[in-house]
Structure 1
């Protein structure tokens, strides 16, 4: 937990007892109430944001803004190929699915060419 060992945790507990003394339970209760209020404020802000964006963003998740999640969702996962493969018995563009996951061309195979792209 937070890269803190047992010895360090014991020192922190002893320091907390020395500093707060008999008011430690009250301080812990206040900290718990404060965390609960922060969580409620964050949830209400998220609800206000989703309400302000409108119905087209009803499934919007703030985790989608995380760069790792964004890249994984929009660049690494190709939903069109998955839908095409499921509709065509696991074949993507007429290829063997094991070949498609290998990511390479067979010997003497020409790469795909799109005349509109050049």
Structure 2
């Protein structure tokens, strides 16, 4: 129920309970809490049975945990009764998987790189403005003003 509660937390709660209630009253309080938890579970179980009986015999194996969205999708669409295969989920998964297309592109690039002959290097292009011969560099950029 509480997956993140470890041994240090339980020891801390026990020490806190002893300090708050004292060692004399602690067994009585633990019994009261345990009785309360039993009553809540019994009430919950009776409410579930009442809902199942009201739903009728068609829903006798109905589980309330199946109403959780993740459980519902996992049971009825992905894993259950082959419905997921009927919906074409495998086709959708394979269509959305980019690995096949990336492998084809990589093979095409390798093939193109192997087939091409080495070409002479293209002349280098610079991005600097050409200045007239003998012109001194200006202190500001005339195109920026």
TM (norm. structure 2) is: 0.51
**Take 1:76 and 1:47, find their aligned partners in 2: how far apart are those partners?**
28
CA contact (8 A) 2:66 2:72 kept: yes
C-alpha distance in 2 between matches for 1:78 and 1:56 = 18
Whole-angstrom distance in 2 between the partners of 1:67 and 1:44: 24
| Superposition deviation, residue 48 in structure 1 | 0.2
Query: Which residue of structure 1 lines up, in the alignment, with residue 18 of structure 2?
Result: 17
Does residue 54 of structure 1 match 2:56?
Answer: yes
SS at 2:62 equivalent: coil
Distance 1:14 1:78 in 2: 47
Q: How far did residue 51 of structure 1 move? A: 0.5
Q: Which has the larger radius of gyration?
A: 2
Alpha-carbon distance between aligned partners in 1 of 2:80 and 2:42, rounded to the nearest angstrom: 36
Contact residue 74 and residue 80 of structure 2 kept, 8 A: no
Gaps of 5+ in 1: 82-99, 106-118
The answer to whether the aligner puts 1:38 opposite 2:45 as a matched pair is: no
Q: Please name the residue that 2:68 is paired with.
A: 66
| TM-score w.r.t. length of structure 1 | 0.61
Unpaired runs of at least 5, structure 2: 84-89, 96-145
Moved more, 51-60 or 1-10: 1-10
